[in-house]
Amino acid sequence: MELHNCSIKPIARSGCFLTSPNSDVAQQARSSCPPLQLPSATENCGLSNERVFNAVAKTHPKKLILFAYWPFYADNWSDDSPQGRALSDQLNRLASLNLKDIVVIGPAPLWRPNLPIMMYNAWTTTGAVPLYDLTHVIRSIDVDRQLRQSVEKAGARYISLIELLCNDTGCLTHVPGSPGLLLSYDGGHLTTSGAKFVVQSLRSRGLL
């Protein structure tokens, strides 16, 4: 299953993701392959997802997290759309393994052209890095809402990164109190500091 940000596993091992230092985390990711079988998916994506499913069936993890930049694959994830039905089918298939906790994490904010350039320009112009920015971010609110409905209808848990990182004034650009620790190193992939902040924030809210 794809993880849009591959820095989650080393962060998990650092202790901010795990409930016990003796626990372990496995990450399965393939570039540009969502964690479900879409009609447009390549053969390699299908084979990779099948290997991941078999690994999940064998290891039976206590918590399974699916994460991708969902708007990259489709702009409609309602439960009656082909993409929404494919996601529901995948979640139902995973649920058949009697997993205790299946979690789908929604898309992170998308920055245009990219967050480091925008914050550098802001700093050279104003002498400060804004904590929130609204003018250069795509929040994918409709996709976030549709994903939540489809995921929860299938009986899994949904976590919205848009709700976590954004408000009426925009989306977080850096770790609060640390302007040098940007949340993304490009248009959407989380930095290590950004991923750590996200995981710690979700844990503090009892979501992970």
CB within 8 A of 117, min separation 6: which ones? none
CA distance 138 to 61: 33
Are 64 and 99 spatial neighbours (Cβ–Cβ below 8 Å)? yes
Please state at what angle helix 82-95 crosses helix 43-59, rounded to 10 degrees. 30
pLDDT tens string, the chain, 208 residues long: the values are: 333 344 444 444 433 333 344 557 778 877 788 888 887 778 888 888 899 899 999 989 999 999 988 998 889 999 899 999 999 999 999 999 999 999 999 999 999 889 999 999 999 999 999 999 998 888 889 999 999 999 999 999 999 999 999 999 999 999 999 999 999 999 889 999 999 999 999 999 999 8
Burial class (CB in 10 A: 0-12, 13-18, 19+), 38: middle
Give CA–CA dist 96/162, Å, rounded: 29
SS3 148: helix
H or E stretch at 150: helix 141-153
Read out DSSP for 127-141? SS--SEE-TTEE--H
Q: Compute and round to an integer the Cα radius of gyration of the chain.
A: 17
Give the per-residue pLDDT at 32: 80
Query: What is the CATH code of the structural domain delimited by 8-204?
Result: 3.40.50
User: In this structure, what token pair is assigned to residue 173?
Assistant: 């650009």
Q: How far apart are CA 57 and CA 94, in angstroms?
A: 8
Q: Does the N-terminal peptide bond of residue 113 adopt cis geometry, omega within 30 degrees of 0?
A: yes
Q: What is the pLDDT of residue 18?
A: 36
Determine the pLDDT at residue 190.
92
Residue 206 CB burial class (10 angstroms; 0-12, 13-18, ≥19): exposed
Distance, CA of 20 to CA of 140 (rounded, Å): 34
Q: Are 134 and 190 in contact (CB under 8 A)?
A: no
DSSP letter, residue 4: S
